[in-house]
Structure 1
Amino acid sequence: MTQLVPAPAPAGAVPAPSGTMRDRVPAQALIEQVLLRQAAARPRTALERLVGRDPVEPDARPWYAGAIGERAVAARLTGLPEGWTVLHSLPVGRNGADIDHLVVGQGGVFTVNTKHHVDASVWVAGRTVLVNGSSRPILQKAEAEGRRVDRIVAPVLADPPAVRPIIAVVGAKRLRVRRAPRVVTVLRAEHLPRFLLAQPDRLSADEVRALVARFEDPGAWLPTVEAGAEVLLAFSRLTREVRAAARTRVAWALGLAVIAVAGSSMIVLPGLVALFGGA
């Protein structure tokens, strides 16, 4: 569940009631926050573009990293077979909180909270989660997501199974679950589809259809706006700029390394010739 700063709807956003929650795109809430912060930033100068300065402003970087993580998880969930439904960025909190991904199939109902921790060490023991040694309250947030969706499920099914919260970790160098939490499943994002498909059937096909109909109804969630084409195009452009800037920085680093090696050779080689030539 992502905590968002309340903000006005971005340019290109359109009201949701005419569609369904299936129209929500992965990381939509985070994308909107990224673009709002980028819109207030000054453009990069020609020199900054030349040297490959990151186009994402410092204030927007946590939101951008979160959006990239959520979209990576969503891409993995697209591989689920027929019978599974996935919804994204569902608004549940009046302070702007959302559920990253909601997955429904005969194996049950699952909330998926994405955590993007590039090259980090993540350690889990019971209700304790440490990221690079620092405690994070992510289990409590995941449990709250499950309870929120339980309240939506309860009026639809007579005897529903509990919603199962999942934390999907993206990019971590190391993930160690020393003692599994009682309620929340913590796993690497790449293992998520396999975990879901391994679940025994808990719902009938009719129950799945009834739940999907309810989850797709905007009335089940807090009012929101849908992303217009301009929003998604702007984020795609920003992503391309980020990748191009990274390639530029790598090229500069390689070029400087070659110059450094060449400079060292100009100093070292004459010395070696003099040493061995006079032997």
Structure 2
Amino acid sequence: MTSDFASQGFGSGRDDIPQRVGVNERGAGHAVIEKLLADREGLPPRSLLGRVFGADPLTSENYPWYKGALGEIAVGRILERLGPGWMVLHAVPVGTGASDVDHVLIGPAGVFTLNTKNHSGQSVWIAGRTLMVSGKKQRHLYNASHEAARAAKLLTRGANATVEVTGVVVVVAPKSMTVRERPSEVVVVSDRQLLRWLSDRPNLLTPRQIAVITAAAMRPGTWHRNPPAVVDPGFLQYEFARLPALVDSARRRRAGWLLALLVGTPLVLATLSSYF
């Protein structure tokens, strides 16, 4: 039996049949993992030779979804450390299409929508309305602002009371993050700064307000006109959990073969030269 992830037939088991799942049942990265696995469905498994030589189990189209899932999962783990007074929702479907909010937080300090961006090993630069990653301008600030405004509108309607929402861009594992001027409409923090930043916020909501907003947030209809049926969260997490090991193993194999080539080529040339 092959151990290649691509051969595992996403869509072949009873547990992955789309079903109605509560908003609070989705795990971090649910939407991007579902997209990644759906895109990989039907792809042929790597051959034995491909696995031996470290052929990448992901395509170039897979990598943005894979990297995004890793980022959301990392932030999800950080949010698990929030106190019991917080409600945390992940991958909340919103609008009429396939859009989702990476994380929604409701607690004493207020309501927050988190837009997670995995820019591991890259330099991030922020000044006012501009955010650049490795010298390229991104739309993260606009997207986070739009996301927060939409969440505020939907929660206000769902709770029948005015709900203010703060949009937050969470940059995961950046090489560096330089803030020349803080954005006026949203907050930008790294994953390492997130928990302390939330802990330092003053209390704005009473337990009663938190309960009312949470009740509204827990209703799928608050966020989406026709909440989609999704794949079982446990199944998705199980399938995705096997992928990082395959990716890392393939990367190590490629590095090993490259090292062998760099070391072995001079030896071969030296041996051949001795015969001439």
TM-score range, shorter chain: 0.7 to 0.9
Percent of matched pairs sharing the same residue: 34
- Displacement of 1:263 after TM fit? 6.5
Shift of 1:194: 0.9
* Match status 1:40 vs 2:45: no
When structure 1 is superposed on structure 2, of 172-181 and 217-226 the one drifting more is 217-226
Residue 54 of structure 1 and its aligned partner are, at CA, apart by: 1.5
Other-structure match for 2:4: none
1:14 aligned onto 2:18: yes
1:227 aligns with 2:231: yes
1:277 is aligned to none
Structure 2 distance, partners of 1:10, 1:186, is 38
- The reply to whether residue 236 of structure 1 matches residue 241 of structure 2 is yes
Partner of 1:175: 177
Structure 1 counterpart of 2:86: 84
Describe the shift of the 1:168–1:205 C-alpha distance in structure 2 as closer, same or farther (beyond 3 A): same
Whether the 8 Å CA contact 2:171–2:189 is kept in 1: the answer is yes
TM-superposition CA deviations, 1:229-266 (whole Å, max 9, x none): 43332222223211222232333344445546766998
8 Å Cα contact 1:13-1:231 kept in structure 2: no
Distance, in Å, in 2 between the alignment partners of 1:237 and 1:185 is 34
More divergent stretch after superposition (235-244 vs 248-257)? 248-257
Map of 1:25 onto structure 2 = 27
TM superposition shift of 1:195 = 0.6
The whole-number CA distance in structure 2 between the counterparts of 1:140 and 1:172 is 20
Higher Rg: 1
AA of the residue aligned to 1:151: K
Matches within 5 A, 1:91-130: 91-130=93-132
Q: Distance in 1 between matches of 2:106 and 2:151?
A: 11
SS in 1 for 2:153: helix
Structure 1, unmatched stretches of 5+, are: 1-8, 271-279
Query: Secondary structure in 1 aligned to 2:195?
Result: helix
Structure 2 unaligned regions, length at least 5: 1-9
Q: Cα distance, 1:95 vs. partner?
A: 3.5
Residue matched to 1:133:
135
Give the TM-score of the pair, scaled to structure 1.
0.84
Separation (CA, whole Å) in 2 of partners of 1:128 and 1:257? 43
| Superimposed CA distance per residue, residues 58-90 of structure 1 (whole angstroms, 9 cap, x where no aligned partner) | 221111111111111111111111111110011
| 1: CA distance, partners of 2:68 / 2:162 | 35
TM-score by length of 2: 0.85
Give the equivalent residue in structure 2 for 1:6.
Answer: none
* Residue type of the alignment partner of 1:242: V
Shifted more, 226-235 versus 60-69: the winner is 226-235
Residue matched to 1:5: none
1:194 — aligned with what? 196
Measured in 2, the distance between the counterparts of 1:170 and 1:35 equals 22
Which one-letter code corresponds to 1:179 in the other structure? Answer: E
What code does the residue aligned with 2:237 have? L
Q: 2:218 matched to which residue of 1?
A: 216
Seen in structure 2, the aligned counterparts of structure 1 residues 93 and 151 have a Cα distance that, compared at 3 Å, is same
Residue in structure 2 matched with residue 247 of structure 1 by the alignment: 252
State whether residues 123 and 133 of structure 2, in contact with CA within 8 Å, keep that contact through their aligned partners in structure 1: yes
Q: Give the match's secondary structure for 1:211.
A: helix
Q: Tell me, in whole angstroms, the C-alpha distance in 1 between the residues paired with 2:177 and 2:269.
A: 42
Pick which of 94-103 and 253-262 moved more: 253-262
* Matching residue within 141, 144, 147 for 1:142: 144
Shift of 1:177: 1.1
- CA distance change for structure 1 residues 77 and 260 in 2, over 3 Å: closer, same or farther? farther
Aligned alpha-carbon RMSD (Å): 2.4
